[in-house]
Amino acid sequence: MLGALLDLVVPQSCVGCGSSGARLCQACLVVEPAVRTPVPGPPGLPPCWSAAAYEGPLRRAVVAYKERGESALAGPLADALAYTLARAVPCGGVWLVPVPSSRRASRGRGHDPVGRVARLAVRRLRGLGWDVAVLPVLEQVRRVADQAGLSATQRAANLASSLRVAPALRGAHGRPAVLVDDIVTTGATLAEGARALRVAGFAVPAAVTVAATRRRSCR
């Protein structure tokens, strides 16, 4: 709430170049949709599309939005996600399934950053006639450790069998599910989400994120 109030009363400047106006100006929001699947990636990881690399103005925008609750950044990040989704799944007809934050992270941040950006992206796409909707079916079934500082192998072990599709929503798998997250690093979180969705009967053709960290190589 504090972040939203500050957005209203404090003059805005771009997190990238410092110019007054939008919190992330068009010149700094450089969107280059591409498949940036981590290599090596964990088993079961779907092709990972992202709007751009996790660096520069986009990185600063994601951190400010996610960790400091700067709600003014939700809009441009949703624009980037919507454009990337349009490239990843040009035929539409999919569910967008946000990766859930841990309960501890949600309490600490006071908001659901991925869910909000996913809903805004869907609003933009539906306004253009796209057949797409958010389906928040994933839920955590156990606590996981903080992923910061863990290797790819440690992240995969930390997240193994940590997600499931909510029992009440398991009958919704009449269309493919595209996973949505803010950042892909090793791919462990997205692979676990894809596993849980497939167990419940969903096809998972792709994952879409706002940004991707640079790895040794990508495909």
Question: pLDDT (tens digit, 9 = 90+) per residue, 67-87?
Answer: 888 989 999 999 999 999 999
User: Where residue 42 falls among pLDDT bands split at 50, 70, 90?
Assistant: very high
**Percent of the chain having pLDDT more than 70?**
76
Query: Which backbone phi and psi does 169 adopt, to 5 degrees?
Result: -115, 15
Q: What is the pLDDT of residue 167?
A: 83
pTM recorded for the entire structure: 0.84
If one looks up domain 32-218 in CATH, what number appears? 3.40.50
Domain ranges of the chain: 32-218
Residues forming a β-bridge with 38? 218
Of 137, 99, 96, 101, which Cα lies nearest the Cα of 119? 96
Q: What is the pLDDT of residue 22?
A: 87
User: Where residue 211 falls among pLDDT bands split at 50, 70, 90?
Assistant: very high
Q: Are strands 163-165 and 138-140 parallel, antiparallel or unpaired?
A: antiparallel
- Identify whether the C-beta of residue 138 lies closer than 8 Å to the C-beta of residue 163: yes
Q: What is the pLDDT of residue 91?
A: 83
Which residues, 6 or more positions from 155, have their beta carbon under 8 angstroms from its beta carbon? Answer: 147, 185, 186, 188, 189
